[in-house]
Amino acid sequence: MIDLDGIWYRVETRWFASVDDFDEVDYHGQEVVYKYTVVRRTPKGVWLRSEFGEEFFVRGTATKQKAVPTMELARQDEIARRKRHVRGCERRLKDAQHLLAYAQRKAGLEGFSG
């Protein structure tokens, strides 16, 4: 369902690194909030405009959306995106481990770990 207020949101969590005077690196996360203005509504969704003037369509009933009508939904959407990202990374790690084991078996280096 489409909210009647004119702002939709997207939340992204970003990692930043800073280096102090002693060359110590400090990593910290930051929540970045993007706000989109509703341009027009259709029976199927909404057209939104970014702060840079880019217009795009968001289907009102879609499972994955670039923006959502409330900050609470935007934070929930960010968590769901990060969980999908982690699952994909875990799968790629598992694939790489299997390929490494296969390559080591073919080379006769089963016990080789370096």
- pLDDT of 1 over the 50 cut: no
Q: Is the pLDDT of residue 110 over 50?
A: yes
Between CA 67 and CA 44 the distance in angstroms is 15
Give, in order, the Cα–Cα distances in Å from 26 to each of 12, 13, 14, 29, 40. 20, 16, 14, 10, 43
- What whole-number percentage of the chain has pLDDT above 70? 90
Which whole number is the average pLDDT over 73-88?
96
Residue-wise pLDDT for 40-69, tens only, equals: 999 999 999 999 999 999 998 888 899 999
Q: What is the SS3 string spanning 60-108?
A: CCCCCCCCECCHHHHHHHHHHHHHHHHHHHHHHHHHHHHHHHHHHHHHC
**pLDDT at 32 exceeding the cut of 80:** yes
The more confidently predicted of residues 1 and 59 is 59
The whole-number average pLDDT for the span 16-42 is 91
Q: Is the pLDDT of residue 97 over 90?
A: yes
Higher pLDDT residue, 8 or 18?
Answer: 8
